[in-house]
Each structure stands twice: as structure tokens, then as C-alpha cells.
Amino acid sequence: MCPFGLAYEKIDACPNDGILYRKEFADLDKCPRCGKSRYKLPDGVMPGEGKKGPSAKLLWYLPIIPRFRRLFSIKKEAKNLKWHADKRKKDGLLRHPADSPQWKDIDEEYPEFGKEDRNLRLVLSTDGMNPFGSLSSQHSTWPVLLVIYNLPPWLCMKSKNIMLSLLIQGPKQPGNDIDVYLAPLIDDLKQMWDEGISVFDAYGDEIFTLRAMLFCAINDYPAYGNLSGYKVKRKMPCPVCEDDMESTWLPNSRKHVYPVHRKWLNRFHPYQKKKSLFDGNVEERRFRRPSSGREVYNRVKSIETVFGKSGKNKKDGIWKESAFWKLEYWKHLSVRHCLDVMHIEKNVCEAILGTLLNMDKKSKDGIKVRRDMQHLKIRPHLWPKLKEKARKGKGKSYYLPPACYTLSKVEKRIFLECLYGIKVPKGYSSNIRKLVCMTELKLHAMKSHDCHVMMQVLLPIAIRGILPKHVRDAITRLCSFFNTICNKVLDPEELDKLQANVVVTLCQFEMYFPPSFFDIMVHLVVHLVREIKLCGPVFMRWAYPFERHMGCMQRKVRNPARPEASMIQGTVSAEIGAFIAEYMSRAEPIGLPKSRHEGRIEGKGTIGA
């Protein structure tokens, strides 16, 4: 494999995620931060005696520079890498990230970078995966994947164009110490921005200096906090609102909720003064403008973070140091880490379905929630009431008055029978019938794409006639919002209306649904339109292709004792096989007869060639 220039490196890491044994730490035997030994020694062997055992933890690094050279050495790939400049339709609509303001701002801020169409815009994504499938639930391996946005949309997110750059060995996830493992990739990205690399372009038949930048990162919400440096698990978990975020504590449910969407309404909107339908107060707050990259950088540049699970107390605050701030252009990006629409849509869908069907552990309604309403002094008609037996001293049992979103058994059965009878074309979605449990009147085993299809198409159909009109309209409007933002072509002039509509929809949810419904995932819906305005369409910024690629990597595990090594071997072998296949497809055979059927009879069309 090595002669192709597609080798990989194994870098030893501290078991407590303190350092990587590279550069100035390459020759050390112990971590200077936690004192943990670099190697696992056999029983009875003292440090410094005998042969060193295997490393305690490994980082697998696949250098990106030789892989970019391989791409440009293939004429077809080199041509596709200029698609965004040569063949993209430019009509003012959002079809590709190249149409977005963030792409254009970088070209204006760094004209030397922008004038070369072959310079690469990269997207990074990472998440934990279980290489053993259902055989283990504890192991967590973290691949770091890269995608090139220069390619056309129908090729950009294909599995063969998703590049594995790092693989962080399990079984434990790195958490906030992931910056330690990103160091080799950050060094390569700095080199490709500051100096560039000399690359031969097979399509242009010339050698040029290639530079690259990281356009944004796409992760689920916990990984968002790990990579961005924002602490997403406290009272102010929204990285866009930051310290302007105001939460409400529910003492019985033991959770923070965020029903604060009236701040985004017009100052004279009638919802602002309707106290009894919301939290009992007139809304006079205004939403704050999101912080720019330079403002965030000025807040975090003086923060010093001690990495490693050493048990030392860390400084309080909502921000910590992030490895990406070492990139010069990072502070000039309007959106550095994108909210993942796939996970947000899945969480919102599960919350709606769990509440409507009163599913165990997924419903946002219950005795604790009703007591929280009583504590907040809102909606007195929904407060829990003692039953007659309890009033006579025969134990405490409560009756929960039905709410506008409460379904009877007959209505639940009608709802689920509608879903049970739905038939869709092959490849459109999974078999919806397998998700419906008619005996327990619930939905189970729903995957992310099942929730996507449910929100986009099926849910507005299934709820017709079984809910009050105002509740049904609110749910349908939210489904329509997700359907609209997932379009492949968006009009920037219509996005302001879309934002206003979704704010009104979320306010209607506050009027009808319980306070526990409004966790951070529901709140993040209000920020999705802003990111579309700045970064382009959603279908090139969600986690579906990365999750599918992780499934492909999972199938490469041949040796369960070394899952990460199996995935690396399989990935490099696939890269080399694809490179050879592309190279041989354009090679002319020497000394071999050509088939008389070559051409149109063989299946290659000539019209429009």
C-alpha cells in the first residue's frame, strides 16, 4: 500500500487523553501531565525492564496531503473539483454552499485564496460509533471525516468522496479532550492554508499551488460542544444565544426548559401580551444579535485549558479553548459549527409522537409535568386532581384532566391504523408497518430517516380529524417548515418569511403543549433559517451521509480484537482499489485487439457526446 502514497500513521496517545506522543513528546515513556505510562507492561515487569508491550491508546492518522494529490492526478476528478466555478447555475438562488454569503465573504477577505478556483473548501464531521454493532454497547470509536464542497451536490456526499482523516481508538470517547487528537489534522490544515502544496492538475495539465480551508464542521449536539468549545450542558446550552439564554427550572421534572420564543416575534405581535396562554408574563425581552467569530475569539483567546482526565478542577465559564482557533481564517467565519438538522428533526419528531401517544419514557406529559404547571401557576384546568378514593383516605391517586393534545384509545388506534396501512415506493423509506405496534398502541424502533419521512409527509396525513384544529394546524405548520428547509433549491428572499412563520409556530406550541416539551432541541429550530442564509442548503449540511459512511466502516471490521485496525486496513485498501480502477479506466491497452462491439452496441451512447 505504501508505494501509492496512501499510507497511515499510528500515534501513541496518553490513556487519559492528555497528550499525543509526537513532536516534543515523541521520545517520552510517561505522560508529563498525569504520569501514566506510555505502554502496558506485562505483569511483574518494572518500568524500564524488558520489552515494551502494546500502546495503551492509539490514534490512527491518514495524512490528507497525499490524498489531495491523488485526487488531482485523475483527470475526471480534477475536472469535477472545478464544478462550483465552471458549471454551477448562478441565478441568485441557494443551490450549493458556493452560493452562500460565507463562501463569498472568505473570497473577499482573502482574495489570493478566492481567485484560484481549485482551492478546496472542506467540511469536517465526527461522531462516536460502535464497531461491534449489537454485540457491545460500551465501545466508542471516533472517526473524523472530511468532505470537499468543490464537488457537485450529487457527488459531494457520496461515500467514495468522504475521506477518513483520523480514527480515535476506543473503548472510551475522548469528550472535551478531542482537541488533543485533532492536532495532526490541524497542522496539515495550517500548512495547506499558509504555504500550500505543489500539485499536478491532470485536467489542466499543469502544476499549481493548492491551498485548502475548513468551511465548517457538522456534528450532533454533544459533539458540537466538544469541538466548538461551548458548554452545551448547563443553564445556557444554546451556542447562538449564549448568555442571553434564559431557562425555566421544572422542580418536579428535574430539568431546564426554554420556552422563550416570543422574543423573536414582532414587537407589536398580539402574542406578546397574552399572559395566560404562556408563562403568565408579558414578553418585553428582545433577542440579541448572535456573536461574530471575532467577538467569540476575543473571549476565548486568553483561556488556557488543561487537557486530560487528570481530575483537576477546570475554570468555570461557557467557553473553553478549541483547536480550530489556531486556523487563521476561523474567526472570520459566520457559522463555524453547523446545527445538524437530522438529529434536531429526529428529536422533535420523537417528542411530538411520544406526547400524542403517551409513550413511556418519551412522553412530555405526566403527573410530574402537571405538578410543574401548578408550581408555575399556569393552565389551572390541567392541574392534577385527587380521585374520590383518595379524598376518602384510601391512598393517594391523581386524575390528569385531558389536554388538547391528549388522544383517546380510539383516536390512537385510528392514528396508528393510518400509518399501518401506508405503502410507499421501494427505496422511499423503511417499511412503516414494522414500526407500528397495535397491541401497545405505540411506535417503536424508529431510526433517523423514519422520523424524517414521518415529519415531512406522514404525520400531517395521520393526524387529520383526530386532534383539535388549532393543535393540528400547529403540528402541520412545523412539518411544513422542515419540508421547506430540506428543499434542494431555496430562495433567499423567502427565508425571512419562513423564519417569521416558524417563530409563530413555536409560540403556538408553547400555548398548547406542556412546558417540558421545550428542551434545547426544540429551541434550536429557531436558529436553522439563519444558518441556511449564511451557509446554504440543508441537504449538504446534515449527518445522513456521514452516518451511512460509518455503517460502511463498521462492515470492514474483520478482526473483533482489533476493530480500529480492521477499519483502517479496509479503508486504505478501498482507496487504493478506487484509484487503480480510475487509472486503468483511462489507460489504452497495448497489443490487445479491440472489440468490434465497442461503442454504441456495447452500451456507450454517442448522442450529445
pLDDT (tens digit per residue) in 257-273 = 998 889 999 888 889 88
3-state SS assignment for residue 546: helix
Whole-number percent of the chain with pLDDT over 90: 54
Average pLDDT over residues 272-292: 85
Under a CB-based contact definition with an 8 Å cutoff, are residues 384 and 374 in contact?
yes
E strands, 532-582, in order = none
478-504 residue pLDDT tens:
999 999 999 999 999 999 999 999 999
Average pLDDT over residues 322-337: 92
How far is it, in rounded angstroms, from Cα 609 to Cα 605?
A: 8
Given the DSSP bridges, would you call strands 398-399 and 436-437 parallel, antiparallel or unpaired? Answer: unpaired
599 band by pLDDT with thresholds 50, 70 and 90: low
Distances, alpha carbon 515 to alpha carbons 251, 259, 270, 355, 507, in Å: 12, 7, 21, 12, 12
In this predicted structure, the answer to whether residue 49 has a pLDDT above a threshold of 50 is no
In this predicted structure, the answer to whether residue 108 has a pLDDT above a threshold of 70 is yes
Give the residue ranges of DSSP H helices in 110-160: 111-114, 153-156
- Alpha carbon dihedral 167, 171, 176, 181, in 10-degree steps, equals -30
In this predicted structure, the answer to whether residue 394 has a pLDDT above a threshold of 70 is no
How far is it, in rounded angstroms, from Cα 210 to Cα 73?
A: 13
Whole-model pTM over 0.75: yes
Distance of CA 211 to the CA centre of its chain: 26
Half-sphere exposure at residue 271, Cβ-oriented, CA atoms within 13 angstroms: 19
Whole-number percent of the chain with pLDDT over 70: 91
In this predicted structure, the answer to whether residue 465 has a pLDDT above a threshold of 80 is yes
Phi/psi of residue 139, nearest 5 degrees:
-75, 135
3-state SS assignment for residue 601: coil
Average pLDDT over residues 80-104: 92
Given the DSSP bridges, would you call strands 337-339 and 255-257 parallel, antiparallel or unpaired? Answer: unpaired
Q: Quote the pLDDT of residue 311.
A: 55
Distances, alpha carbon 466 to alpha carbons 121, 262, 406, in Å: 49, 28, 10
Cell of 460: 400531517
- C-alpha dihedral sign at 40, 43, 48, 53: negative
How far is it, in rounded angstroms, from Cα 244 to Cα 286?
A: 10
Average pLDDT over residues 315-338: 87
Q: Quote the pLDDT of residue 55.
A: 60
Distance, first Cα to last Cα, the chain: 36
15 band by pLDDT with thresholds 50, 70 and 90: confident
SS3 track for 37-97: ECECCCCCCCCCCCCCCCECEEEEECCCHHHHHHHHCCHHHHHHCCHHHHCCCCCCCECCH
Which residue is associated with the grid cell 456507450?
604
Q: Quote the pLDDT of residue 212.
A: 94
3-state SS assignment for residue 585: helix
Given the DSSP bridges, would you call strands 248-250 and 255-257 parallel, antiparallel or unpaired? Answer: antiparallel
In this predicted structure, the answer to whether residue 607 has a pLDDT above a threshold of 80 is no
